[in-house]
Structure 1
Amino acid sequence: MSENRRIAEEVIEAVGGRENISSVAHCATRLRIMVNDKELIDQKKVEDIQKVKGAFFNSGQYQIIFGTGTVNRVYEEVAGLGLATMNASDQKKEAAKSGTRFQRAIRTFGDVFVPIIPVLVATGLFMGLRGLLMQEQILGLFGLTPDDVSANLLLFTEVLTDTAFIFLPALIAWSTFRVFGGSPIIGLVLGLMLVSPSLPNAWSVAGGDVTPIEFFGFIPVVGYQASVLPAFIAGIIGAKLERWIRKRVPESLDLILTPFLTLLVMIILALLVIGPIFHIVENGILSVAKTVLSWPFGISGLIIGGLNQIIVITGVHHVFNMLEIQLLAEFQSNPYNAIVTCSTAAQGGAALAVAMKTKSAKLKALGFPSALSAFLGITEPALFGVNLRYGKPFIMGLIGGAVGGFLASLFQLEATGMSVTVIPGTLLYLNGQLLAYILVNVVAVAVAFALTWMFGYSDKMKNEIEQ
């Protein structure tokens, strides 16, 4: 029997046997199992299986971390044993039906905003590179000054950095229609209508150069460049309206009437009702967020940096994607990123301390890759594979994150993008803040590492927990 076949059989047994497995899928690093009763899972037995780097239950799936390459081979062996398989996308849709209404709502929220994030990450990197290249010291290396930079080059950089945010409502409406069962192309056109050049530009209105169009003498109508909530709400209502209309028009007229009626009704609602109301709500959220993030003496960083990874465990952290998108769209900066980066780095520091201090070869083999994963911005292996497993390392990581977040707030660090953290996140701080960014992360890692080494872990503690 091959090693991977044996591992597959041990996994099946540890999760409650064949009868407890509804379907099996895999992603790049994890075997994802939908079980009928999660109470039948023997967590310790799973974690003791060779090559397993951690396991946890999340989003309706039991996820076992094997790592790149290994997971493919184990999955093939599981499939070869006759269990029901499913691709990761379909299984995710099936898993989305489980959980409380709140959990399903948060997952849906993430499904809308996560696909948009890559282009916003790219935009943030462009902003960072422009900030770096436009610095006097960098230009001086080439014998140039800011005055020597041509207007055409500046225009080119603006195309790179501004386009995604100008058309942000189109991206959001497209993704919202996709998630809520509408036609994404209708959502895209609706979003483009919200930023039509025929409407007063939102930034020009905010600057006082242009006045809004007034309908009925009291409803202000403007373009919604860089807005999030109006497009999101319009997307939800529009997708449901499209489905309602499609069920009621004759099939022969569906191609003509459904998009026509959907767009007609939705642009009226979006411009006259949804937009004015939710633009006020959006500005209120932004105002509160900026107030909290600007609390003096680093208080906001201390609180957010200390609590962030607890939020990650609950799986509701995707709700903050909207906040980061709003911050970037409105202010072209994101102070939230630096704080949560420290919380991520600190969990890596705690896992690294466990890996270096333990004499267990298996725990070392789990701890070092988990720490590296955290330093690349992904904390789940460190959280579920090491730190939460032994308890105290997780707490020491929270303390490290709080200290790092405290310093990030004091230094007023602001990223040019979102969603990439720790080592990859350095590219978001090429705006003259790179050294300070490195410093706060090193401090977060050092504090978590030192506290875990001194108070948070020993092999004696490991043996007591695993008895």
Structure 2
Amino acid sequence: MGVDNREIAKQVIEAVGGRDNIASFAHCATRLRIMVHDQQKIDEKKVENIAKVKGAFFNSGQYQIIFGTGTVNQVFEAIESLGVEGTSKDQLKSEAKKTGNVFQRAIRTFGDVFVPIIPVLVATGLFMGLRGLLTQETVLAWFGMTPVDISANFLMFTEILTDTAFAFLPALVAWSAFRVFGGSPVLGIVLGLMLVNPALPNAYSVANGSEEALVMFGFIPVVGYQGSVLPAFFIGLIGAKFERFLRKRIPEAIDLIVTPFLTLLVMITLGLFAIGPIFHSFEEVVLNATTYLLGLPFGIAGLLIGFFNQIIVVTGVHHIFNFLEIQLLEQTGSNPFNAIVTAAIAAQGAACLAVGLKTKNNKLKALSLPSSFSAFLGITEPAIFGVNLRYVKPFVMGLIGGGVGGFMASIFQLSATGMAITVIPGTLLYLNSQLPLYILCNVTAIVIAFVLTWLFGFNDKMLSDKK
């Protein structure tokens, strides 16, 4: 830890109103997250002028200062070394959950459940992309092979890599939900596995007509819930609350036996006969509505989603799209939403890049160029909050570029093999005949956002307005 970071730490403490105004603080991959007693004591302009700060904003009841990966860890340690006690992210989230309206709190909780699952789904998407690449006739021809030469055992191995996470998705969701809502995660895993038990008719087989759903009590259809999200989510939510209810009332001497027994019995009964059928039907409605939107002619879906996506990101409720992408992948095997959103992200990066190349202000240049690169890797917060939104017009030009890029992605019917990675890393999800069109859509979004920002979206006169 250098002297520079210790000085930055002192400036941060002073700018947020002193150590007495800090209720708690933690950090994530890129941001310092601070809960303060009095927001009025924060000098936002002073914060933004601190070296290495790439932007700052309020979200979810927290004052979040963007430093970027690596740097944020060092600044956090420097602040702790000055005697300010850090807080775990879970504790900070607990305090933050007391703020915001009902909808914001619900979306935040939804995100807490699904964010830990995303790395597995990202890996699965990459495996799908690599399998698509390795089984292409053109690629096989480089090695003097044809599709019939591919070993059946090799295909089985790739199916294990690509199918497992989605086949047992309810177990992942129920585990995470139990963890978030204070239950025993192992009970969530077992309940999730019960939902996909091989004794139940397989959901995919029922969908294609090769199997029939069981009919219980003469009117309740029961199937496995392979790939379903909402049934597992609500079983996890209610199950965790029910387990905690039991633990407060059952004597400790028999708690170890009775609590898990009753939790599993009651929740799988509710899951198969009530929660599952109800929310599985709701999932179908959501999926059908989304599929309808994405299937609108003339690129309308891409235009709308590409333009508005980053506005939704600013509101902080974009975690709800995780559910949408999971459903698309599980039910259709592909993810057209990813291609559209990628164009929106790339466009914001391009707008930020234009600011960085056009400005003569060294601090803004040092902030803009790394932030634009971060956006091209799929992380737009430094670009949006640190640069584009501060001057407004670059953000708008990025929205326009995203709308055009999304329009093209929709017209070309681009669809990813996975989720959660975009722009440059996202190319791994299009390692098939789509790759040239994927690159074209993103380059178009980048060029439009860059040119519009350069010509109409930014000049150094705007700097004086922000001082």
Under TM normalisation by the shorter chain, which class is it? over 0.9
Paired residues, number: 466
Whole-angstrom distance in 2 between the partners of 1:121 and 1:74:
29
Identity of aligned residues (%): 69
Deviation at 1:110, TM superposition (A): 0.2
Whole-angstrom distance in 2 between the partners of 1:137 and 1:187:
44
Deviation at 1:18, TM superposition (A): 2.6
The aligned counterpart of 2:207 is: 206
Matched ranges for 1:125-164 at <5 A: 125-164=126-165
Whole-angstrom distance in 2 between the partners of 1:236 and 1:170:
13
Compared with structure 1, are the counterparts of its residues 244 and 387 closer, same or farther at alpha carbon in structure 2 (3 Å cutoff)?
same
Matched ranges for 1:41-440 at <5 A: 41-440=42-441
Per the alignment, in what secondary structure is the counterpart of residue 415 of structure 2?
coil
Whole-angstrom distance in 2 between the partners of 1:379 and 1:68:
13
Root-mean-square deviation over aligned CA pairs = 1.4
Whole-angstrom distance in 2 between the partners of 1:81 and 1:151:
61
Q: What is the one-letter code of the residue matched to 1:268?
A: T
Compared with structure 1, are the counterparts of its residues 357 and 228 closer, same or farther at alpha carbon in structure 2 (3 Å cutoff)?
same
Whole-angstrom distance in 2 between the partners of 1:159 and 1:275:
26
Whole-angstrom distance in 2 between the partners of 1:149 and 1:98:
56
The aligned counterpart of 2:26 is: 25
The aligned counterpart of 2:466 is: 466
Compared with structure 1, are the counterparts of its residues 307 and 461 closer, same or farther at alpha carbon in structure 2 (3 Å cutoff)?
same
Deviates more, 1:404-413 or 1:220-229: 220-229
The aligned counterpart of 1:14 is: 15
Whole-angstrom distance in 2 between the partners of 1:68 and 1:127:
28
Whole-angstrom distance in 1 between the partners of 2:184 and 2:27:
28
Q: Is the 8 A contact 1:221 1:276 kept in 2?
A: yes
Deviation at 1:163, TM superposition (A): 0.8
Deviates more, 1:148-157 or 1:180-189: 148-157
Deviates more, 1:75-84 or 1:305-314: 75-84
Report the TM-score, using the length of structure 1 for normalisation: 0.97
Per the alignment, in what secondary structure is the counterpart of residue 317 of structure 1?
coil
Compared with structure 1, are the counterparts of its residues 69 and 229 closer, same or farther at alpha carbon in structure 2 (3 Å cutoff)?
closer
The unaligned stretches of length 5 or more in structure 2 are none
Whole-angstrom distance in 1 between the partners of 2:360 and 2:403:
29
Deviations 1:151-210 (A, max 9, x none): 211111111111111111111111111111111100110110110011111111111111
Deviation at 1:405, TM superposition (A): 0.3
Whole-angstrom distance in 1 between the partners of 2:146 and 2:329:
28
Whole-angstrom distance in 1 between the partners of 2:161 and 2:127:
7
Q: What is the one-letter code of the residue matched to 1:466?
A: K
Deviation at 1:232, TM superposition (A): 1.1
Per the alignment, in what secondary structure is the counterpart of residue 206 of structure 1?
helix
Per the alignment, in what secondary structure is the counterpart of residue 64 of structure 1?
strand
The unaligned stretches of length 5 or more in structure 1 are none
Deviation at 1:95, TM superposition (A): 2.3
Q: Is the 8 A contact 2:377 2:424 kept in 1?
A: yes
Per the alignment, in what secondary structure is the counterpart of residue 274 of structure 1?
helix
Whole-angstrom distance in 2 between the partners of 1:391 and 1:440:
24
Deviates more, 1:289-298 or 1:427-436: 427-436
Deviates more, 1:149-158 or 1:413-422: 149-158
Compared with structure 1, are the counterparts of its residues 400 and 330 closer, same or farther at alpha carbon in structure 2 (3 Å cutoff)?
same
Deviations 1:409-449 (A, max 9, x none): 00100001111010010000113211111111111111110
Per the alignment, in what secondary structure is the counterpart of residue 34 of structure 1?
strand
Q: Is the 8 A contact 2:68 2:382 kept in 1?
A: no
Deviation at 1:81, TM superposition (A): 2.7
Deviation at 1:345, TM superposition (A): 0.5
Deviation at 1:461, TM superposition (A): 1.9
Q: What is the one-letter code of the residue matched to 1:102?
A: F
Report the TM-score, using the length of structure 2 for normalisation: 0.97
